[in-house]
Amino acid sequence: MGWPSWQRAVRRSASRVPPGSALDPRTCRFQTIDDEVASALSRLGRPWPVASILALGLAFALLAHAQHDWTWQRCALLPLLIALALIMVLDLRSRIIPDVITLPGIAYALLLAASFRGTAGFVEAGLGALAGGAMVLLLAVVSRGGIGGGDIKLTAMLGAALGWKGALIAFALSQIAAGLVALILFIVRGWRQPMPVGALIALFGALMLVSRP
């Protein structure tokens, strides 16, 4: 049974399961989310996702090299760029931005800030993560779920790496780009599916990372 069929089967059977039982989907929603994340991550081992991640990582590295000479500080950004490439591929394929990427990404960005700019840099990166995440969280509350938790933590990760202004610029550009692409697809093909905004946030964040001095 395919994954969508499994989900439909669970929904049909939900009314026949006693509330609070071990089989109640309402009490197992977090396990379902974990299963979705595990399934999405397991598919990254296939040839096309691996090739896409490597191609994106290489493109970001070449862009960084074209902008500036390589330094230790610029080389230290490579794990963040690879994480953003992973997020782009995952969001495009599965509409999932897992905590296993964003939370270590936040910690790594904070570590970089402390290593290269000391205590002041660590505090600035921490405030950037908090402010970037909090502002997008506020937008998520106002939009009543229009923005996912993965987008919030991704913006917090960019806030730690770019500062809150850079994170919000990346977020705003992603919304504009998503709106324009959705409008074009609707006019041309009548397409009404949700846009992978997280992939666009990661793309603009990566471009800002490689272009900053």
Mean confidence (pLDDT) of the chain: 79
pLDDT of residue 35: 61
Instruction: Give dist(CA 138, CA 133) in Å, integer.
Output: 9
Tokens encoding 95: 């509409």
pLDDT per position as a tens digit, 98-150: 899 999 999 999 999 999 999 999 999 999 999 999 999 998 888 877 788 89
Which H helix or E strand runs over 145? none
Q: Please state the domain count of the chain.
A: 2
**For range 22-39, the mean pLDDT:** 52
Range of the structural domain that residue 30 is part of? 1-45
Pick the closest to residue 132 from 84, 174, 167, 103 (CA basis): 167
Instruction: Give dist(CA 170, CA 201) in Å, integer.
Output: 6
pLDDT per position as a tens digit, 9-24: 434 433 343 444 444 4
Query: 112 with 197, same domain?
Result: yes
Query: 120 with 20, same domain?
Result: no
Query: 67 with 9, same domain?
Result: no
Query: 99 with 134, same domain?
Result: yes
pLDDT band, residue 72 (cuts 50/70/90): confident
Tell me the whole-structure pTM to 2 decimals. Answer: 0.77
Query: 70 with 150, same domain?
Result: yes
Query: 29 with 53, same domain?
Result: no
Question: CA torsion sign, 8 to 12 to 15 to 17?
Answer: negative
Query: 34 with 137, same domain?
Result: no
pLDDT of residue 174: 93
**For range 179-205, the mean pLDDT:** 86
Tokens encoding 146: 């229009």
Question: CA torsion sign, 104 to 110 to 115 to 119?
Answer: negative
pLDDT of residue 106: 96
Q: Of 9, 24, 45, which closes a domain?
A: 45
Q: What percent of the chain has pLDDT over 70?
A: 77
